[in-house]
Structure 1
Amino acid sequence: MPISGRKVPPHAIEKEQATVASSISGREVELPAMWNRMFEPRVLTEHGPDGFAKLAELPGAESLEWCYGCGKCIPVCPVDVVGEYGPRKLHRKVQTGFDLLSDPDLWLCTSCGNCLRVCPKEVDMIQIVPAAREAALTEGNVPGELQDVFEKTFRYGNALGENPRRRAQWTRDAGVGVRILPKEPGPVDVLFYVEDYWSYHPRGQEAARAFARVAHALDIDWAILGHEEKTLGDSQRLAGEKGLFDALVEDVTATLAKYEFNRIVTPDPHGFNALVKEYPKRGHEFDALHYTQLLAPLVDRISWAKELPYTVTFHDPCYLGRHNGEYDAPRTLINAIPGIELREMGRCRQNGYCCGGGGGGMWLDGFTRDYTSERLSERRVREAAETGADMLVVCCPYEVSRFEDAAKSTGNAQLKVRDIIELIDEAMGHGG
């Protein structure tokens, strides 16, 4: 067995001939030496500890060797549901000589965190995978889709490669005024950090406009950064580009230092995770909220205009729920909307299933296609449709477009996909 990280040669006990009696029939069977050796414990000797040693040199990646093969991670791993994956399986591959830094498996993890939730040894894929990916990047091992995103983020400050001057263009059709701090400086209570997909993606822009109308109706004192906003970069960090993330932190905090605000609110669970966990590690503390956390305490102030006759099911974002413990704020808002019936999926809250967009997965659907039977978003849409709901409700900018595509590709086009803020906006009589 391994002692201090080194393999100890086995002490094999072999007999030229062994006799085994059946415990049922009592019949005796004679086995030759090549068979009877299996009745003694054996140690894996054909491979050494080099793979684990290589990972142990990377800060954060050493915990993969702690795995003792209990297998609890496998049934909760969303990638294993549609493929062959999980920390135990990665541990075994490294144990048998695979170099994780050059293996496709390195890029399949979505950093959803469900394995860490159940692991008795605290094998932490949230640390292992980004550290290994960063090392793989230095060796030139990176999928083309991710390299493209990294380059766009570096050049334009957003993953979509859009012109920063167009970042606030969505506000033109919001129907209410939106304060843009570079144009209207001054103190503000809520700095709304829109992030990339609500700023640029057509479906995300619809949700951004809905938020603007709701915030206006509730008299929230809020503003955005407009063209000065850059992505907070958490998904790029998890995809292995720590250097890019550190550069973004410097740029973002330099911009934020120019303005006076009390709270930062974002619709993006990944951006929220960066603000509450990663930016403080680098000396930048903010009072950060997801937009559902901002609005949930204000539901009594909302004036509802109509009931919505929808049966809905809700998808917990991994980085709002499992990573940051917020399960109630989205449900408070959903249950407050008149006429809504909420039906939970079997996998929800702590055991919620991943949409596949986390940890860089948002940009790796083409890559993962060769290693999974279907996209994680397609699997999740099937689970949503099984509840009999008319609508799959979300509160993460990645998810509307992912699930709408998945609904079409799985033959569940009747399942509508909406952000919670869109339903609130509709029930207040502004949209729909």
Structure 2
Amino acid sequence: MPIGGRKVSPTAVEKESAVVASPISGREVELPAMWNRMFEPRVLSDYGPDGFARLRDMAGGGGTESLEWCYGCNKCVPVCPVDLVGEYGPRKIHRKVQTGVDLLEDPDLWLCTTCGNCLRVCPKEVDMIQIMPEAREGALAEGNVPSELQDVFQKTFRYGNALGENPRRRAQWTRDAGVPVKVLPKDPSPVDVLFYVEDYWSYHPRGQEAARAFARVATALGVDFGILGHEEKTLGDSQRLAGEKGLFDSLVEDVAATLSKYEFNRIVTPDPHGFNALVKEYPKRGHTFEVLHYTQLLAPLVDRIEWQRELNLTVTFHDPCYLGRHNGEYDAPRTLINAIPGIELVEMGRCRENGYCCGGGGGGMWLDGFTRDHTTERLSERRVREAAATGADTLVVCCPYEVSRFEDAAKSTGNDHLKVRDIIEIIDEAMGHGPAAS
């Protein structure tokens, strides 16, 4: 009861034993002393507001306060991809902060992939897409950052890409494309489409195969496009979500300055993370463009494609979180897949709005070593198992992160028979190019 304006904890009265009679049957049950406490009122005093206050008062501020809104309904936990391979979910994080855990020093801070599935179902709109980047920014300021991630930040700052590659090698993939690719710094004439290749299609061997396939398909369809070559830098959305807001702001300034030098009507990128940055983050900083994912560019042109081969493939499709849940595009990739002759599409149980995460978002692309110590398996391995269970022989993707992630996962889970290919590679093959042509 309130005494002197303050609440005080009640005095617990415990007995050695208690006998309780059922009001229905009259049967008596003897309870030991440990059960006596349920018969006395208690004040819950094992948590406080300090952890939430620290998050709420952090620099940047606007989203971290929503963690306090959680009222424990638990809808987020069953849809959280990390919880399926560990112990996770916004409700669990809320409870840990409530009981005194410092999120800025806890491994949970780095396990979230910002996939957005929890926000999709949360009635209180607890927004991990804002909470995690802001909390991570605070952790970075205190020097609490996994070494793998710190390495990526340093490479991005120095080279303009997460892989630490020489910027002058950005356009090397074009040499074996089989079609001319306009490099704007060498030929700055206007183009309809500025093709923003991003890091993994520029440098990763499997990504380069997809980039060359896109160049052949776009050329065959008469798309007037050019690339920035050595002047291109990563758009930086994954770095932002991993907490490096300052690095992201610097990249925005550099990218905007580069884009201002050339004339184009729209930007097309294969990277859902880069797409998300251009659609949602760059306009906040005064830079607005017409932006398409490459599947959105090609889907309306599908009737113009001249197919040369009928492929005998059963495929299943993985929805990228940052193209699907974050930006609402589920149909363009499927339009392309269903148009390819000889393709049968079978959906996984977790697809479209409830699609499972590959584990690469929110900086997770570079944290496999870190997450291995806190989960039973990688999210990409869990997803490959789901894909294999459909009976498909090919897992189809449309995000540069996913081909390498899923190919590695197919090997580590013993599903080597499951081929992983980007949609553009299959289109390219069905048009008469690619593996079957050699």
TM-score by length of 2: 0.94
Counterpart residue number, 1:110: 113
Structure 1 runs of 4+ aligned residues shifted over 6 Å read none
Confirm or deny that 1:256 pairs with 2:263.
no
Once the two structures are TM-superposed, the CA of residue 35 in structure 1 deviates from its matched residue by: 2.4
Which of 280, 291, 299 lines up with 1:288 in the alignment? Answer: 291
From 372, 375, 383, the equivalent of 1:372 is 375
Aligned residue in 1 for 2:84: 81
1:152-182: per-residue Cα shift (whole Å, max 9, x none)? Answer: 0000000000000000000000000000000
- 2:211 partner letter: A
* Shift of residue 187, structure 1, vs aligned partner: 1.1
> What is the aligned partner in structure 2 of residue 36 from structure 1?
36
Asked if structure 2 preserves the Cα contact closer than 8 Å seen for 1:14 and 1:33, the reply is no
Indicate the residue corresponding to 1:4 in structure 2: none
Give yes or no for the alignment of 1:27 onto 2:30.
Answer: no
What are the within-5 Å matches in structure 2 for residues 6-405 of structure 1?
Answer: 11=10, 14=13, 16=15, 19-22=19-22, 26-31=26-31, 34-39=34-39, 42-58=42-58, 59=61, 60-405=63-408
Q: How large is the Cα RMSD of the aligned pairs?
A: 1.6
SS at match of 1:392: strand
Paired residues of 1:21 and 1:28 also in contact (CA < 8 A): yes
Confirm or deny: 8 A CA contact 1:12 1:37 kept in the other structure.
no
| Residue number in structure 2 paired with 1:3 | none
Moved more, 42-51 or 165-174: 42-51
Q: What letter is aligned with 1:27? A: R
Shift of 1:31: 4.0
Tell me how far 1:36 sits from its aligned partner: 2.9
Q: Determine helix, strand or coil for the equivalent of 2:400.
A: coil
> How is 1:403-414 mapped onto 2 (pairs within 5 angstroms)?
403-414=406-417
Q: Measure, in 2, the Cα distance between the counterparts of 1:103 and 1:42.
A: 30
Q: Identical aligned pairs, as a percentage?
A: 85
Range with greater deviation from structure 2 (214-223 or 42-51): 42-51
| Aligned-pair CA distance for 1:12 | 6.5
One-letter identity of the residue aligned with 1:283 = G
Q: Name the structure 2 match of 1:425.
A: 428
TM-score (norm 1): 0.96
Looking at structure 1, the residues matched to 152 and 303 of structure 2 have their Cα atoms a distance apart, in angstroms, of 41
Question: How many residue pairs were aligned?
Answer: 426
Evaluate the alpha carbon distance shift between residue 26 and residue 223 of structure 1 in structure 2; reply closer, same or farther with a 3 A threshold: farther
Structure 1 residues 223 and 103: alpha-carbon distance in aligned structure 2, compared to 1, 3 A threshold: same
Q: Cα deviations across residues 80-133 of structure 1 (Å, max 9, x unaligned)?
A: 000000001101111111000000110000000000000111110000000000
Residue 3 of structure 2 aligns with which residue? none
Residue 65 of structure 1 deviates from its aligned partner by 1.0
CA distance in structure 2 between the partners assigned to 1:8 and 1:191 by the alignment: 65
- Measured at CA, do residues 173 and 370 of structure 1 come closer, stay the same or move farther in structure 2, by a change above 3 Å? same
Distance in 2 of aligned mates of 1:224 and 1:336? 27
